[in-house]
Structure 1
Amino acid sequence: MVLGWLRLLLLATTLPRGTAGIKDCFFCELTDSTRCPSTRMHCGDEEDCFTGLGVAQGVGPVINKGCVRATSCGREEPVNYMGLTYILTTSCCSGHLCNRGPSPTGPATGLALGSLLLRHLL
């Protein structure tokens, strides 16, 4: 037991400066599945975890997860998936594995999707 604590202490003191801010986030490619099969990825110092939600007229939403620079949070941008152009909105969080939540569903997401679609149709 003491040997395990010593190894942990040694590891903590030998890590380069700046690695304390590095976090893990869940990652999955852009998908139209209701479940986003996630794997862990390491993010850089200037990155946050994100969940992206994309909408396009007449089809269901697409999602993805990963790491992104904080300056990209909350932005809308076009992405192509399966021959269609979706408007992808990036929602960020700053905690370790904070984007683990289930795929966006429910009344609040439906309202957000509806407003996004309406904005791009008008």
Structure 2
Amino acid sequence: MVLGWLLLLVTALPRGTTGTKECVFCELTDSSSCPGTHMHCGDDEDCFTGTGTSPGLGPIINKGCLPSTLCGREEPVTYQGVTYSLISTCCSGHLCNRAPNPAGSRRALGILLLLLRLL
């Protein structure tokens, strides 16, 4: 019975950060969506989503891997001849910088409710 609980719990938890971490990568873009491709990060890197702003213009975004020491910093970047202030927000899970997945959230919630019901 305990083994069954552990197996259920392990399948409900997000993937760990051990081993090779993958992140979503996309170039700077002014598009609201960034489908991106997968890339492998180094041991000292985290996934990030960068959001840039410039007065009077819409935001820009980019995604990829970033050394963890640079997370949360603000830096100037130039996109299409305009300088933006880009802030990188990091996360440490496998593909954690992809777009939110409502179906995955519902799955985790369903498993949690099942566990609570069984208790």
TM-score of the pair, normalised by structure 1: 0.66
CA offsets per residue over residues 61-103 of structure 1, 9 Å max, x none?
Answer: 000000000000000000000110000000000000000125x
Tell me which residue corresponds to 2:13: none
State the Cα distance separating 1:49 from its structure 2 match. Answer: 0.2
Tell me which residue corresponds to 2:45: 47
State how many pairs are aligned: 83
Task: Note if 1:87 corresponds to 2:79.
Answer: no
2:98 corresponds, among 100, 104, 107, to 100
Mind listing any 5+ residue stretches in structure 2 that lack a counterpart? 1-17, 101-119
CA offsets per residue over residues 29-67 of structure 1, 9 Å max, x none?
Answer: 000011112100000000000000000010000000000
Percent same amino acid among aligned pairs? Answer: 67
1:28 corresponds, among 26, 29, 47, to 26
Distance 1:51 1:21 in 2: 21
Aligned-partner residue type, residue 28 of structure 1: C
Distance 2:53 2:43 in 1: 30
2:35 corresponds, among 13, 34, 37, to 37
- In the TM superposition, structure 1's runs of 4+ consecutive aligned residues that sit over 2 Å from their partners are none
Tell me which residue corresponds to 1:78: 76
Aligned-partner residue type, residue 78 of structure 2: N
Aligned-partner residue type, residue 73 of structure 1: C
